[in-house]
Amino acid sequence: MSIPWDVELTHGRIGVRALQRSDAPRWAELRRANGPWLGPWDATLPPEGGQQSTSYRQMVSVLRRRAKRGESMSFVSTWDGVMVGQVSVSAIAWGSARSASIGYWVAADHAGRGITPTAVALVCDHLFTALRLHRVDVAIRPENHPSLAVVRRLGFTDVGLAPRYLHIAGQWADHRLFQLLSDDVRGSVVDRVSSSHA
């Protein structure tokens, strides 16, 4: 299956584009500098999951293979063309589901500029139009207020609490599940960012 994953999308100063091998130094710099900011929300492998240690180059190779197979897509979010975060699309399901899950992060020094809502909106519009998916969902820890603000600003619907849903920061953690359906979007998801006062 061939899907349009190696794309560049922009809205004003904010953009998303496919993660590249050449992003390695910037990616490592952002992850290192933002460890305390991102650590409480980072997915981890449970003890029974074994050890997973791969280089950045190996990680990107795996992600690009998965993108080519239509399983996932990994984007960097940019501010004035410079990488400041990431938006990951995983668990793409075709057939009768036509759905995907989204995760995201942004560097602490770029938080509050509307980068993440806009980047997520750009990716959602791409998923709904180019891939013709029906549903996009996001799982968020109830105490992650900045992340909750993103989905609320974009009009995602809260579909409930999933106890011990994902292994985060070394333990199984509860998450609230949110979804956005293509049927519920009039115009574009990016329009919701522009019209929102959140």
pLDDT in tens, 12-54: 999 999 999 899 999 999 999 999 999 888 888 787 765 565 6
% pLDDT > 90, the chain? 75
Reply yes or no on whether the pLDDT at 68 is more than 60. yes
- Listed residue (193, 113, 114) closest to 156, CA to CA: 193
Q: How far apart are CA 78 and CA 83, in angstroms?
A: 4
Domain of residue 120, residue span: 8-40+53-195
Q: What's the number of domains the chain is made of?
A: 1
CATH number at residue 146: 3.40.630.30
Q: How far apart are CA 76 and CA 92, in angstroms?
A: 18
**Tally of CA atoms within 13 A in the half-sphere of 12 that contains its CB:** 13
Tell me whether strands 157-168 and 171-181 are parallel, antiparallel or unpaired: antiparallel
Length of the chain: 198
Contact 6, 18 (CB under 8 A): yes
Q: Return the minimum-mean-pLDDT range out of 9-13, 53-57, 117-121.
A: 53-57
* Cα dihedral 189→191→195→197 (10° resolution): 40
pTM: 0.92
Report, as an integer, the average pLDDT of 115-128. Answer: 97
Does some domain include residue 15?
yes
pLDDT score of 44: 80
Report, as an integer, the average pLDDT of 71-84. Answer: 96
Does some domain include residue 2?
no
Reply yes or no on whether the pLDDT at 3 is more than 90. no
Report, as an integer, the average pLDDT of 161-178. Answer: 94
pLDDT score of 198: 39
pLDDT score of 155: 96
Q: How far apart are CA 145 and CA 123, in angstroms?
A: 21
Reply yes or no on whether the pLDDT at 104 is more than 60. yes
Does some domain include residue 1?
no
Does some domain include residue 45?
no
